[in-house]
Structure 1
Amino acid sequence: MSKKLSRAFFRSSPVQWFFAGFLAAWMALVRVTTRWTFVGQEHAEPVWKSGKGVVWCYWHSRIMGAHSIWPTDVQKMLMLISLSPDGQFVARAAELVGRTVVRGSSSKKKADGETEDKGALQAFRQMLSHASKGGCVGITPDGPRGPRMRAQLGAVRVAKMAKVPLLPSAFAVKGGGYAKSWDRFHLPPLFSRGVIVYKPAIALPAKASEADMEAARLALEIALTEAMQEADRLVGGPLIEPAPPATAAEEAEA
C-alpha cells in the first residue's frame, strides 16, 4: 500500500471511529485500573474549590492522561484539539469519555503573506467564554506540532483575557511506552502504578503587559517540564528534555 493510500485509509471515517473507540476505552480503563499517587494536589484543590475558571495545561505527550488528571466533579473541562485529520479521532475519543471538545489550530501564513485562520479565532472565543464563566480549558501549550516542551503563548492569552489562573500538571504510569515521535508520546499500560503531579497555579497581573505574559509563559514552560520529569522519575521512566526553541523562521511557518 502506497503512503498516500495508507494515509487515506487511516483517515477514513470508519477507521477513525474505530481508533476513537479504542482510545476512549483505553483512557477510561487507565483512569480506573491505575493505582494513582498524587503529588502537589494541594495546588489544585483551591482552584477546584473556587468554582472559578482555569486554564489547565499539560504537555502534548500526556494527552492519554487528560481524562485521569482532571476530575469529573469540578470545573467542566473544554479540551482544545487541533483541526488536523490526526486530531479527529482524539477529539472523538475525548467526547466518548464525556469531555467537551473545541477544535482549532494555530494560524498559518500562506505563500502570499496573508494569514490563514485555521479555526484559531473561533476556538479562542469559545475557550475565553468557557473560562470566563467558571469552566476549565485544557490546553497542550506545545501542540499540535511542537517544538516539544516549549510553551506557546495561546494558553497565557486565554488566561489573561478570561482573568483566570494557569494550572500546570503532568502524569506518568509505570511500564508505559515512550514513542519516538516529536513529543515522545507516553502510552500508559493498564493495571499499573501511576503518578499525577500538579504545580502551583500561575496568576497573571490584572493589567498584564507583554513582559508579564512572556514571564508567565516561561514560568508555565518550566513548571510543566518539572512536573513531567518528576512524574516520569517517580515511575522509573526516562528523562525527557525539551527540544530546542523554534527559530523565527519556524514560528512564521507554524
Structure 2
Amino acid sequence: MRKGAFQELSVLRELFSADHPLLRHLPCWGASFLSAWHRTCRFHVVGKAHLRAALDKVPGGLLTTWHFAFPSVLYFFRHVNGILMVSRSRDGEWAARLAHCLGFQTVRGSSHRGGAQALRAMLRLTQKGHPAGLIADGSQGPPLRAQRGIVWLASVTGLPLVPLSLAADAAWRLPSWDRTLIPKPFAHIVIAAGDPICVPRRAADQDLEAFRGLLETRLHGLTELAQKTVSRTEALPSVPRGGGWAKRFRHQTLV
C-alpha cells in the first residue's frame, strides 16, 4: 500500500475514533436508541430455569450466544449487573462503551489477545456474583461456528456454559459478517436457553474440541427452537412490552 493511502487510513481511524470529541457521546445515544427500540417489543423466554440459575447462583454460569443476537441480548440483560468479555479491537471499543451505557461491566481481551488478563478479571467478578456473557463465534467469526477459546475459558474457570439463542417474528438482517438481527418495532422476541455444559478442568485437546462441537450443536438447536416458538405467536402468553429488566424477568411467569 502506498504511503498516501496509509496516511488517509490513519486520518479516517482518528476521525472515527471513540475518543473523538464529536463522537464521544455516540455510544450512550446508541444505548438510548437501542432501549427505546426494544421497549416496543414483547420478550418471551424458553428455558427460564437455566437463565435464572445462571443469574442467581454465585458464581453463576457463562451465558453464551451467537454474535447476530448481540443487540437484543444486550438489551434483555441490561439490568443484571453483568460482565462481558469484549475484544481489544477498535470495534470492540465501541461495543464496550455501548455496554457500559447499558449497565454492564467489561473486561477487554479474547482467546487470541489479552485473554489471560481478561480471564482473571472475569473470574474475580463472577466470584462476586456478576453473571458473565460471551459470544460463541467471537468478534470476527466465522459466523455460527463456536470458537474453541470459549470452551477453554469454561474449563479454566470451572463455570458451566449456558447456551442461549433467539428469534423474532419480524426482523431485519444487516449485511454484516454475522447477519445481525434487528427486530422490527412491536415484534415478539423469543429467547431460548438450554442445559448448561460443564467442561472439566484441564480438559485434553480432544475433549475441548468435543465440547466445542457440543456447544455449537446446542446453539443451533436453540436457534431453531426459538424460531419455531416465535412462529406461533398466538400461543405465546401475553407479557408487557419492553421486558428484560432483572426484577420483572425473575418474578414473571414466562414461557
Q: TM-score normalized by structure 1? A: 0.76
Are residues 1:67 and 2:74 paired?
Answer: yes
Find the counterpart in structure 2 of residue 222 from structure 1.
Answer: 217
Report whether the alignment pairs 1:139 with 2:115.
no
Aligned to 2:52: 45
- C-alpha contact (below 8 Å) 1:156/1:216 kept by paired residues: yes
Please give the secondary structure, in 1, of the residue aligned with 2:106. strand
Coordinate RMSD, CA, aligned: 2.6
Instruction: After TM superposition, give the deviation of residue 219 of structure 1 in Å.
Output: 1.2
Q: 2:100 aligns with which of 95, 98, 106?
A: 95
User: Structure 2 matches for 1:162-201, cutoff 5 A?
Assistant: 162-201=157-196
SS in 2 for 1:172: strand
Partners of 2:114 and 2:56 lie apart in 1 by: 32
Task: Name the structure 1 match of 2:61.
Answer: 54
1:104-143 mapped onto 2 (5 Å cutoff): 104-107=109-112, 118-143=113-138
From 35, 46, 56, the equivalent of 1:28 is 35
Change (3 A) 1:147 1:10: same
Task: String of CA shifts for 1:97-156, please: whole Å, max 9, x gaps.
Answer: 11111112443xxxxxxxxxx323221221233234443221112111111111112222
What is the distance in 2 between the residues matched to 1:206 and 1:102? 22
Aligned residue for 2:192, secondary structure, equals: strand
> Could you give the per-residue CA deviations for residues 187-239 of structure 1, whole angstroms, max 9, x where no partner exists?
22333221111111111235633333222211111112222233345446xxx
Question: In structure 2, what is the Cα distance between the partners aligned to 1:103 and 1:29?
Answer: 27
CA contact (8 A) 1:69 1:171 kept: no
Alpha-carbon distance in structure 2 between the residues aligned to 1:94 and 1:31? 15
Kept after mapping to 1: 8 A contact 2:164/2:193: yes
The one-letter amino acid of 2:184's match is P
Distance in 1 (alpha carbons) for counterparts of 2:135 and 2:126: 16
AA paired with 1:131? T
Structure 1 spans left out of the alignment, 5+ residues: 108-117, 237-254
Q: Is the 8 A contact 2:79 2:102 kept in 1?
A: no
Distance 2:154 2:212 in 1: 11
SS for the counterpart of 1:17 is coil
Deviations 1:2-48 (A, max 9, x none): 98355543335245434312321133234533211111213323333
Is this contact kept in 2: 1:77–1:100, CA < 8 A?
yes
TM-score normalized with structure 2 length: 0.76
Instruction: Specify the SS of the correspondent of 2:184.
Output: coil
Change (3 A) 1:90 1:206: closer
* Secondary structure, counterpart of 2:209 in structure 1: helix
**For residues 209 and 51 of structure 2, what CA distance do their matches in structure 1 show?**
23
* Residues in 1 aligned to 2:181 and 2:50: alpha-carbon distance in whole angstroms: 24
1:233–1:213 CA distance, 2 compared to 1 (3 A): same
- Count of matched residue pairs: 223
